[in-house]
Amino acid sequence: MKILIADDSLVCRTLLLNMVKKIGYEPVTVDDGGKAWEIIQQNNIRILITDWNMPTLDGISLCKKIRSTRFPNYIYIIIITSNTQKEDCLYGIEAGADDYIVKPFSFEEIQIRLKAGKRILNLEGKYKTANIQLLQAEKMASIGQLAAGVAHEINNPTGFVSSNLKTLADYQKDVVQLIIEYKKLLNLFSTTKISFKLPEIIQHQIHTISKLENETDIDFILDDVSDLINESREGTERIKKIVANLKDFVHPDTQSLQTAQLNQNIESCLNLVWNEIKYKAKVIKQYEDIPEIKCYPQQLNQVFTNLLVNAAQAIEKKGKIIIKTQKKRDCIEIKISDTGSGIKKENLTKIFDPFFTTKAVGSGTGLGLHVVYQIIQKHHGNISVESKAGKGTIFTICLPYSHTS
């Protein structure tokens, strides 16, 4: 965490710098309030320690500028001064300061005040996370209602088409059999010697049918019609499967644990995001026969979907996505790996932080992996990541057996 120290006294500034370093923070020092204001505008400063009296811009004016400006994160402000009057303390806090320290100060005092400031900032972070999760839950509920309605509307006409195709397949079998018998009859007329001459009209009709049979390639048509009907029926089954997966995915979550077979959950999510994957990656499935587990299935679906989409997006042209599930001594392990662009080493420790993203501006919120992390934590599991830039990434999830049936 970056802490900005603004003090025109070299002695005081150096003393604070050494204290803050010793406590374990990353200090930045300036000798004037104006310079401090420039740094605050350009950097993610979370705590400011500022002297009251400084040239160009004093501590009180700096407080007021900060509080009148909208920043992405709250800045915790500590004013340090020689002013000992109660009225000065109240004035400083009214100007926007969160804490007030009177010189001279000790290391222990700075340590405790910074600890209090960090506690406030952590509360802000927890509030933001809770608010994000609430908004996400409301969004998912809205999407769920919409998707359930769409799934119902798709199901009805799909049912009609599927039923009609089955009937058509039955009709087609009868028609094919009838045509075969007609062909046998024509063949008999052509090859069998008969003792009388057929009427000219019948001969003409036999000739016309034979010619039409040759022109239309009836054998190919009969075979192709069967293939077309079978492919159409496979298509309707695919639609039914997608709708079923969609309904499973968006089904409103309950507050109670449910039994789920995670291989099936992963398959369901894979079907939903297949359009995102199929042109970019070959999917290799390595599923073990794992036991059912008590969990929140829809939340885990969100985890699997997020990781699969991220894997696909990490692959620029063509690559592989490997999904592996296996039984471990104390957990079910799920690995989702890709041969994509990978993650830089310096970013590996930050990818689960809220709002952190390596995607282009407007392409991502930085919430996806944070939500994934929160869901796994809720299941008392853990998630880790291994990655090399340009080589690919492996996400490993472990879900404990504590609720396994």
Q: In three state form, how does the secondary structure of the chain look?
A: CEEEEECCCHHHHHHHHHHHHHHCCEEEEECCHHHHHHHHHHCCCCEEEEECCCCCCCHHHHHHHHHCCCCCCCCEEEEEECCCCHHHHHHHHHHCCCEEEECCCCHHHHHHHHHHHHHHHHHHHHHHHHHHHHHHHHHHHHHHHHHHHHHHHHHHHHHHHHHHHHHHHHHHHHHHHHHHHHHHHHHHHHHCCCCCCCCHHHHHHHHHHHHHHHHHCHHHHHHHHHHHHHHHHHHHHHHHHHHHHHHHHHCCCCCCCEEECHHHHHHHHHHHCHHHHCCCEEEEEEECCCCCEEECHHHHHHHHHHHHHHHHHHCCCCEEEEEEEEECCCEEEEEEEECCCCCCHHHCCCCCCCCCCCCCCCCCCCCHHHHHHHHHHHCCCEEEEEEECCCEEEEEEEEEHHHCC
Q: Considering the domain boundaries, does residue 190 fall inside one?
A: yes
Cis preceding-peptide flag for 157 (omega within 30 of 0): no
pLDDT-based confidence at residue 361 (cuts at 50, 70, 90) = very low
Select the more confidently predicted residue: 275 or 108.
108
Please tell me the pTM assigned to this model.
0.50
Q: In terms of domains, do 281 and 364 share one?
A: yes
Comparing 274 with 361, which gets the higher pLDDT? 274
The answer as to whether 127 is a domain residue is no
Q: Is the pLDDT of residue 294 over 80?
A: yes
Q: Evaluate if residue 31 carries a pLDDT over 70.
A: yes
Asked if 207 and 263 sit in the same domain, the reply is no
What pLDDT is recorded for position 271?
85
Residue 130 lies in a domain: no
Instruction: Check residue 4 and give its pLDDT.
Output: 94
Q: Angle 239-244-245 (CA atoms, 0-180°, nearest 5)?
A: 100
Domain boundary among 188, 219, 250: 250
At residue 362, the pLDDT reads 43
Q: Are residues 219 and 264 in the same domain?
A: no
Find the mean pLDDT for residues 280-308.
90
Q: What is the pLDDT of residues 245-271, one digit of tens each?
A: 666 665 555 556 888 899 999 998 888
Are residues 67 and 9 both part of a single domain?
Answer: yes
| Residue 223 and residue 283 share a domain | no
Residue 358 sits in a domain whose CATH number is 3.30.565.10
Domain assignment present for 176:
yes
| Residue 276 domain-assigned (yes or no) | yes
Q: How far is CA 60 from the centre of its chain?
A: 44
Mean pLDDT of the region 12-30: 92
Percent of the chain exceeding pLDDT 70 equals 87
Per-residue pLDDT at 405 exceeds 50: no
Q: Which of 82-86, 224-228, 246-250, 392-396 has the highest mean pLDDT?
A: 392-396
Q: Are 161 and 236 in contact (CB under 8 A)?
A: yes
Q: Are 45 and 76 in contact (CB under 8 A)?
A: no
Q: Where is average pLDDT lowest: 140-144, 299-303, 319-323, 387-391?
A: 140-144
- Number of domains present in the structure of the chain: 3
Most confident of 44-53, 217-226, 294-303, 395-404: 44-53
Residues 175 and 269 in one domain: no
Using 50, 70 and 90 to split pLDDT, how confident is the model at 133? Answer: low
Q: Which residues of 139-151 are buried (b: 16+ CB within 10 A; e: fewer)?
A: ebeeebeebeeeb
Classify residue 113: in a domain, yes or no.
Answer: no
Task: Please answer whether residues 377 and 399 qualify as being in contact, where contact means their C-beta atoms are separated by less than 8 angstroms.
Answer: no
Q: Do 167 and 229 fall within a single domain?
A: yes
pLDDT of residue 249: 61
As a whole number of angstroms, the distance between CA 276 and CA 308 comes to: 9
Domain end among 223, 250, 277: 250
pLDDT given for residue 136 in this prediction: 65
Same domain, 224 and 298: no
Q: Specify the CATH number for the domain of residue 35.
A: 3.40.50.2300
Are residue 265 and residue 391 in the same domain, yes or no? yes
pLDDT of residue 366: 47
| Lowest-confidence region among 131-145, 271-285, 342-356, 367-381 | 131-145
**What is the spatial distance between Cα 272 and Cα 306, in angstroms, rounded to a whole number?**
11
Other beta carbons within 10 angstroms of residue 33's beta carbon come to 26
Distance (Å, rounded) from C-alpha 237 to C-alpha 183? Answer: 35
Q: Tell me, yes or no, whether 298 and 359 share the same domain.
A: yes
Q: Is the separation of the CB atoms in 45 and 19 below 8 Å?
A: no
The residue from 89, 105, 121 where one domain ends is 105
Lowest mean pLDDT among 104-113, 199-208, 390-399: 199-208
Q: Is residue 117 part of a domain?
A: no
Whether 133 is covered by a domain: the verdict is no
158-162, 193-197, 277-281 — which one is most confidently predicted on average? 277-281
Type of residue at 96: G
Residue 241 and residue 263 in one domain? no
Structure tokens at 31: 């000798």
Are residue 363 and residue 398 in the same domain, yes or no?
yes
pLDDT at 56 over 50: yes
| Residue 91 domain boundaries | 2-105
pLDDT at 225: 87
